[in-house]
Amino acid sequence: MNPQTTIRLYVVLLLTGLLLGGCSTVDKETPDLSLQAATSAYQSALRWGYFETAFGYLDPALRRGKGLPAGYGDLRLTSYEVVQPPMRTGIGEGTQIVAYDYLHEDRQVVKQLIDRQVWRYDPKIRNWWLVSGLPKFE
């Protein structure tokens, strides 16, 4: 091999390595970004009273054969505060801690609930599922 060919080969190998390294970074960040998107959409559904939509974020195994739990019909969230933002806790798992202020319209007593949400990533469909269940508003 002549020196020019060797240099070109090294440049091509270097660029290929950089491109592949960049792709692996994107693959690692994609679940993080989608976790943020899932928790934000779930927050919006709860905050605006779309409890059936929030129920759809539950792991399908938790939803199978069940409907929305009792007590959500007259529920109103007055505050949804993210205490700990979503963070990965392992491969395919993340958590978020949320403080809710809520009331049942028939009682008009504001209560607070701290919820530790556990989320799992399904790489086949590239989706995060809430596996800790819906909050138990009493």
Query: In this structure, is residue 135 part of a structural domain?
Result: no
pLDDT digits (tens, 9 = 90+) for 16-60: 454 444 444 434 456 788 999 999 999 999 999 999 999 999 999
The fraction of the chain above a pLDDT of 70, given in percent, is 78
For the chain, how many structural domains are there in total?
1
* Segments forming the whole domain that contains residue 27: 3-130
Listed in sequence order, the residues at least 6 apart from 70 whose beta carbon sits closer than 8 Å to its beta carbon are none
Query: In this structure, is residue 32 part of a structural domain?
Result: yes
Q: Give the per-residue pLDDT at 1.
A: 63
Query: In this structure, is residue 138 part of a structural domain?
Result: no
Query: In this structure, is residue 123 part of a structural domain?
Result: yes
Q: Give the per-residue pLDDT at 25.
A: 41
Listed in sequence order, the residues at least 6 apart from 123 whose beta carbon sits closer than 8 Å to its beta carbon are 92
Where do runs of H (alpha helix) occur along the chain? 3-47, 51-55, 60-63
DSSP letters for 1-28: --HHHHHHHHHHHHHHHHHHHHHHHHHH
pTM assigned to the model: 0.76
Query: In this structure, is residue 100 part of a structural domain?
Result: yes
Q: Give the per-residue pLDDT at 122.
A: 95
What does the CA dihedral 24, 25, 26, 28 come to, rounded to 10 degrees?
A: 90
pLDDT digits (tens, 9 = 90+) for 49-96: 999 999 999 999 999 999 998 889 899 999 999 999 999 998 899 999
Query: In this structure, is residue 97 part of a structural domain?
Result: yes
User: Diameter of the chain by CA atoms?
Assistant: 85
Task: Residue 64: give its domain's CATH number.
Answer: 3.10.450.50
Report yes or no: 41 and 127 within 8 Å, Cβ to Cβ: no
Query: In this structure, is residue 137 part of a structural domain?
Result: no
Distance separating alpha carbons of residues 85 and 97, to the nearest angstrom: 7
